[in-house]
Copies of this chain bind each other. A is one copy, B any other.
Amino acid sequence: MLTENFLKGRRRRELSAEERQALESVLTPPVTLPKRRVVTVRGDVVSRSTFLISGFMCRYMDGADGQRQLVSVETPGDFVDLHGYPLQRLDHDIATISECQVAYAPHEKLTELIERFPHLGRLLWFSTLLDAAMHREWIFRLGRLDAVGRVAHMLCETYVRLDAVGLVENQSFAWPLTQQDLGEACGLTSVHVNRTLRVLREAGMVDVADRIVTVLDFGRLASTGEFKPDYLYFNDELRTP
């Protein structure tokens, strides 16, 4: 089941067997993309959307001086650029971070699908609004938290999202982002990210090393990052690890 992680754990949003079957039927066979590959650039007209089966991708915008600002990190089970279906044209770039497995949903098939299954249409809509909710929290992070808070918040979000799709084991998860990437997500330089991670490590909250994140004290990490997971719309049991 390619889409088994789609909306997994979202409160009252599980797909029916029939809906899932129908969704699977519009996807192309899976494809592997190499790491650090730009997939779509701002302005591209898109006629299909990318479902992420495994690996990490990101969406970002480029500044005038060539600096990147990540606007989201996509993890397995995410419909990366479903936004492109109603928008038709993308307002940001998309790239892989690690090697990824993806499958494509052609837009004309999505239209048929939604007309046949309006409820599934609402679920797809919902999934794009999860992105919007994460964007809002991202704005909060940049606007109101200091460096330690921003990184803590980001790591909490990732932890909870990956936990929902079974990618957390022993408080740890694989994390292909470099410190540079994390800085581009949090509006910080890689140098400062490095110092910030040291602070969090020395405080015993989290350890990031060798592309693996180990959360040692989720409670303290969450309160440092003012992380309240309601915006991820998970089932209650999942909401506070």
Q: Which A residues contact B (CB, under 8 angstroms)? A: 42-43, 59, 61, 63-64, 67, 69, 71-72, 83, 86-87, 89, 91-92, 114-115, 118, 121-122, 125-126, 128-129, 131-133, 135-140, 142-145, 184, 186-187, 226, 230-231, 233
Contacts and interface: CB of A to CB of B under 8 A. Distances in A.
Given A71-B139, A136-B92, A122 B61 contact: no
Q: Is the interface of A mostly helix, strand, loop or mixed?
A: helix
- Most-contacted residue by chain B among A83, A118, A129, A139 (CB, 10 A): A139
Contacts of A115: 118
A139 B140 contact: no
B230 A43 contact: yes
A87 to B, nearest CB: 5
Nearest to A143: B187
A124 to B, nearest CB: 8
9 contacts: A43-B230, A63-B140, A69-B140, A83-B129, A87-B233, A89-B233, A92-B136, A142-B142, A143-B184
Contact of A132 (B67, B114, B132): B132
